[in-house]
Amino acid sequence: MKKQLDKPFPPFTAEKIAKYLNCPFEGNGKTIIKGVSSLEKAKKGDLVFSTQRKFRKSLENTRASAAIIPTSKTFSRITVIKSENPHLSFIKVIELLHHPELPKPGIHPTASVSPSAKIGSHVSIGAFSCIGDHVEIGSRTIIFPLVTIYPGVTIGQDCIIHSHVSIRSSTEIGKGVVIHNGVTLGSDGFGYVKEKDGSYTKIPQIGKVIIKDNVEIGANTAVDRAALDSTVIHSGVKIDNLVQIGHNVKIGENSIIAGQTGISGSVNVGKNVVMGGQVGIADHIEIGDNVIIAAKSGVSGNIPPDVIIAGYPHQDIMTWKKIWASLSQLRPLIKEVKRLKKRLEKIENKEK
Amino acid sequence: MKKQLDKPFPPFTAEKIAKYLNCPFEGNGKTIIKGVSSLEKAKKGDLVFSTQRKFRKSLENTRASAAIIPTSKTFSRITVIKSENPHLSFIKVIELLHHPELPKPGIHPTASVSPSAKIGSHVSIGAFSCIGDHVEIGSRTIIFPLVTIYPGVTIGQDCIIHSHVSIRSSTEIGKGVVIHNGVTLGSDGFGYVKEKDGSYTKIPQIGKVIIKDNVEIGANTAVDRAALDSTVIHSGVKIDNLVQIGHNVKIGENSIIAGQTGISGSVNVGKNVVMGGQVGIADHIEIGDNVIIAAKSGVSGNIPPDVIIAGYPHQDIMTWKKIWASLSQLRPLIKEVKRLKKRLEKIENKEK
Amino acid sequence: MKKQLDKPFPPFTAEKIAKYLNCPFEGNGKTIIKGVSSLEKAKKGDLVFSTQRKFRKSLENTRASAAIIPTSKTFSRITVIKSENPHLSFIKVIELLHHPELPKPGIHPTASVSPSAKIGSHVSIGAFSCIGDHVEIGSRTIIFPLVTIYPGVTIGQDCIIHSHVSIRSSTEIGKGVVIHNGVTLGSDGFGYVKEKDGSYTKIPQIGKVIIKDNVEIGANTAVDRAALDSTVIHSGVKIDNLVQIGHNVKIGENSIIAGQTGISGSVNVGKNVVMGGQVGIADHIEIGDNVIIAAKSGVSGNIPPDVIIAGYPHQDIMTWKKIWASLSQLRPLIKEVKRLKKRLEKIENKEK
């Protein structure tokens, strides 16, 4: 858990917030801060932040009462709080002012909870949620209404599981995990053996899914269980909506995967990898640490650490950009070669 | 609501239907119409429609008893109704003959409805659906079984919300909206700030989702709430299945988005835009009115109004087609240049 | 149903398992087999299989007690069972040793089952599942908790329907079908007619979805109902997660479709077709039998039987590979042509 800051009480003034953030301020410290806003939509009483180069211009037009700005900048029309990381400081103010409405602890009388389930303290289980045999749920975890947790699942402390999530049997979930609506964890991997008559026999998928601490998984994403071992999502991984994670995949710590990306079976993704949206990774590929994969790339071979790739088939991003730049020259080139050929023929004919 | 036509009573004859459509007919007006069908599957008693150039051929082989055809055409083997827009007229006949089986008004005794929710007249709420605090639902709206509506949501009149939909807190939905199964509205946008240790801190997503009138959203689609302001889907927008709409996106009136397309955060889509399937749009892009984006395009820059684009990286569709046409000439071109080089060398050697 | 093998009783020895598989063994037949494993994770008591060329190396390092190996191979460090198809034999052993934990027959007291539904013998219906009017469910079929089955659906024997599945009205499902979590079957097809004012009028989707025997459908996939006729998934088809199947599509027997692929309306897919992940198929396309479509391909024209295609726009896979190989030569080619032009000019100048 993050270190708790010493929270001030309302009414919040610019001075109080600056002190809370451990940042200096300039201007009227008595300015009342009622909320946060984007630069465009801000009204009186709002706090905004700006890190933009053209931040002066963006601030000139805002109706906000105060702004968090980079330490190196100055601005005098409104009260400013100076931060080394204005965005992070702004997030801390959001967390101070906004408390997401979460269900209260307690098991809803309509929930179907197995007598063999072990439920921690201050857990919330919503209406019509189904908790299977031998499930374990850690303290303060929130299960929204209409969630299905199959038998043998373990869920750590301080998790949030939204409505219409399915967590299939034997899945293991760490602490502080957030799972958005409609996610399926632990569905069967896609594995078949072809028979002589052309039909497919299913390979039983008897492995499981392990989700480590502080992972977040976006709406309607699916993570398949392993055939024999485990599909593993390591700590701090952030997965967007509608992503497909195949069986036996491993995703390294603090990697981040944007929407609609698909990772085929047995892929091994390193740490701190960043994948754009709609990326596709073929099965059994190894992706090194710190790799960045541009949106819509199709990866069909191993990727060494610390590179940026793009395209399908994937290439080093600079190569890919050069190829696409040169493509526009292909048609003129075809014409040029025809012209050269004629000129050459002319010379050849003379020589005869 | 559309103007109600003056509906005839059964048995429906070709004459009655023609009158209902305000269209002329030719042939036997007493022909009984029992149903509608495709040209291929039609049987006696069915009405079909044809707008095809080769419509004569398609009608020759049908077993339908009557057809709606363009005003400019003639056909005498079966009874025909002549319409300026045969497809639209056919839709009106489907609506006349087919009444989708919808749940009856009333709140199912098992539904979990907050006492603070305001439910309009003739609303249907299905079994095990959960309606949170301070939710407002307009008259005649149908909530199927097993739907979750988080606190503070407002839903207009005459909406249809199918099973396993999640509508997260503070979402605003207009009139006549249809939401298919498994949709998530208002899940957190995908926003993080990277810390020095490589981990990500979540940017609280405190904005909301606004869906205007007559929008339709396909199965298992996800629409994220804004970070601070609103993600807005304007009136008349039609979204297909498994689409991803990121935070702070705006989609203009009457735009249409095919399946599995992904729109990244803060994209601004104009009016009357058409996107094919599996399109991807990078974040913060502006797409002008009336733009058409071919399936599978990857858009990474702003698009002016009234253009047709394709490809990844995206290009004007004609340019894209020419590039792909010329690509097949690349290999012969490489050989041709080698040959020209040899011929040139031969001449150069002679000159020495 | 498959022919039942004559199952041995525990404790399972290598000899007993070999006999059960009708395969010869070499080494100590008394070796106790407690479980199955991958080569890497195997421990004492585990059975593994190896079909790899470098299978000797893979077996040298395993801690497994026994292995299933190809008939042509020999290996003496551990007990081996020799099979003509080691993977299929291994699957049979998994099925012998592992019994997936499935819900017991019986209707959960909280389930909402219409009095007009016909439920077969030994059916399981989970908590809070909703079974509509006139639904028919075959013997031994398992409906997990929180499933919605709309009115008029028929489901055959020995099916498994996981939590949070929506099966819309009039869908017909055969025998032995497995449907994973979050799937939507029978949502409206995506069909509209554009009005003069730019708005869209919905084309009523009054057809249905037919799923034949032994089909498996992955998590969060959506299959739309036909406009007038039927969307048909034929016997033995296997569909992965997050796939989109449009209205009026037909998928032929034993075809296999990987994750996040999208098939547009009225596409006709042959038998034994294999599609990789994230493939997109434009509407009204015909795909012949035995076609293989590489991942991420975009198909916009008919495909004859027995070909392998790749790319977008799609091409014969060999052509596609050659084009991509030649692309890296484009930039040097542009330079080469410039050099040739200069050399030609030099000669031309001399000739003057």
Q: What is the pLDDT of residue A52?
A: 67
Smallest CA–CA distance from C319 into chain B, residue:
B328
Q: Where does the pLDDT of residue B20 fall: very low under 50, low under 70, confident under 90, or very high at 90 and above?
A: very high
Longest dimension (CA), chain A: 101
Region C268-275 average pLDDT = 98
CA distance A155 to A164: 16
DSSP conformation letters of B126-174: -TT-EE-TT-EE-TT-EE-SS-EE-TT-EE-TT-EE-TT-EE-TT-EE-
C168 close contact with B: CB closer than 8 A:
yes
- B152 — contact with chain A (CB < 8 Å)? yes
Residues of chain A positioned with their CB less than 8 A from the CB of C108: 112
Q: What is the mean pLDDT of residues C177-205?
A: 96
pLDDT band at B159 (very low <50, low <70, confident <90, very high): very high
The encoded tokens of residue B132 equal 């949170």
Please indicate if any CB of chain C lies within 8 Å of the CB of B272.
yes
Contacts of B9 (CB under 8 A, 6+ apart): none
Q: Which of B267, B266, B224, B262 is nearest to B243 (CA)?
A: B262
Cβ neighbours for A32, distance < 8 A, ≥ 6 positions apart: A11, A12, A13, A45, A65
Phi, psi dihedral angles at B80 (to 5 degrees): -125, 145
B244, A259: Cβ pair inside 8 Å? yes
Tell me what pLDDT residue C5 has.
Answer: 56
| Whole-number Å distance between alpha carbons of B269 and B274 | 10
CB within 8 A of A8, min separation 6: which ones?
A: A16, A17, A19, A20, A96
Listed ranges A322-326, B8-12, C62-66; the one with the highest mean pLDDT: C62-66
Q: How far apart are CA C293 and CA A61, in angstroms?
A: 54
Name chain A contacts of B202, Cβ cutoff 8 Å.
Answer: 91, 216
Distance between CA A1 and CA A21 in Å, rounded? 18
> φ, ψ for residue A186 (rounded to 5)?
90, 15
* Res C205: pLDDT: 96
pLDDT at B163: 98
Q: What residue type is A278 in one-letter code?
A: Q
C220–A220 CB contact, under 8 Å: yes
- With CB atoms and an 8 Å threshold, state whether A246 touches C238: no
Which helix (H) or strand (E) element contains residue B48?
Answer: strand B46-49
Low-confidence ranges of chain A (pLDDT < 50): 1-3
* Average pLDDT for C29-33: 96
Of A145, A182, A220, the CB nearest to B130: A145
Residues C240-268: b if buried by 16+ CB within 10 A, e if exposed: bbbbbbbbbbbbbbbbbbbbbbbbbbbbb
B352 confidence band (pLDDT: 50, 70, 90): low
| AA identity, residue A288 | G
Selection from C292, C296, C288, C236 nearest residue C267 by Cα: C288
Residues within 8 A of A (CB atoms), C 229-248 only: 236, 238, 240-242
The string of pLDDT tens digits covering residues C199-254 is 999 999 999 999 999 999 999 999 999 999 999 999 999 999 999 999 999 999 99
Q: What are C7's two structure tokens? A: 């199952």
Residues of C in contact with B331 (CB under 8 A): 322-323, 326
Task: Name every chain B residue with its beta carbon within 8 A of the beta carbon of A110.
Answer: 110, 112
Give me the sheet containing C280-281, strands edge to edge: C112-113, C130-131, C148-149, C166-167, C184-187, C222-224, C244-245, C262-263, C280-281, C298-299
Q: Do A277 and B244 touch (CB under 8 A)?
A: yes
CA-based nearest distance C15→chain B, Å = 49
With pLDDT > 70 as the criterion, what percentage of chain B qualifies?
Answer: 97
Determine which of B112, B261, B335 to mutate to test the interface with A (most A C-beta atoms within 10 Å).
B112
Query: Residue A112 has which token pair?
Result: 């179907």
Do A218 and B222 count as a contact with CB atoms less than 8 A apart? yes
The answer to whether residue B158 neighbours chain C at the CB level (below 8 Å) is no
Q: HSE of C171 in the Cβ direction (CA atoms, 13 Å)?
A: 28
Query: Pick from C98, C258, C348: which is nearest to A190 by CB?
Result: C258
C-alpha span between A154 and A157 (Å, rounded): 10
Mutate: best of C51, C95, C164, C343, partner A, most A CBs <10 A = C164
Q: Chain B contact for A40, CB < 8 A?
A: yes
Active site residues of A: 247
Instruction: Residue B200: name the closest of A53, A19, A221, A2 by CA.
Output: A2
Count how many Cα atoms sit within 13 Å of the Cα of residue C296 in the half-sphere of its side chain.
25
Instruction: Give every CB contact of residue C194 below 8 A, 6+ residues apart in sequence.
Output: C200
Partner B contacted by C324 (CB < 8 A): no
User: Looking at residue C175, what DSSP letter applies?
Assistant: S
pLDDT at res. C352: 67
Q: Is the peptide bond before B313 cis (omega within 30 degrees of 0)?
A: yes
User: Could you tell me how many CB contacts below 8 A there are between chain A and chain B?
Assistant: 183
Q: How far is C195 from chain A (nearest CA, A)?
A: 32
Q: Looking at residue B51, what is its pLDDT?
A: 82
B34 in reach of chain C (CB within 8 A): no
Please state, rounded to an integer, the average pLDDT across all residues of chain C.
94
* B54 pLDDT higher than 90: no
Catalytic residue annotation of C: 247
Find tokens 């007559």 and name the residue.
Answer: B214
Closest CA to B258 of B221, B213, B312, B310: B221
Q: Which chains touch A (3 or more CB pairs under 8 A)?
A: B, C
Contact A163 B182 (CB under 8 A): no
* CB contact at 8 A, A163 and A111: no
Cβ separation A182–B206 shorter than 8 A: no
Angle between helices C317-327 and B330-351 (to 10 degrees): 40
Chain centre to alpha carbon of residue C339? 53
The closest of A132, A133, A113 to A124, measured between CA atoms, is A113
Nearest C-alpha in B relative to A334? B333
ipTM of the complex: 0.94
Residue-wise pLDDT for C130-139, tens only, equals: 999 999 999 9
Query: Inter-chain contact B282–A295, Cβ cutoff 8 Å?
Result: yes
pLDDT the model gives residue B2: 43
Q: Residue B329: its chain A contacts at CB < 8 A?
A: 330, 334
Whether residue C109 lies within 8 A of chain A, CB to CB, comes out as no
Work out the pLDDT band at B317, boundaries 50, 70, 90: very high
Chain C residues with CB-CB distance to B346 below 8 A: none
Residues 58-97, chain C: which have Cβ within 8 Å of A?
A: 85, 87-88, 91, 94-95
Answer whether B128 touches A (CB < 8 Å).
yes
Question: Which contiguous run of DSSP H or E holds residue A233?
Answer: strand A230-233
- Tell me, yes or no, if B295 comes closer than 8 A to chain A by beta carbon: no
What percent of chain C clears pLDDT 70, i.e. is strictly above it? 98
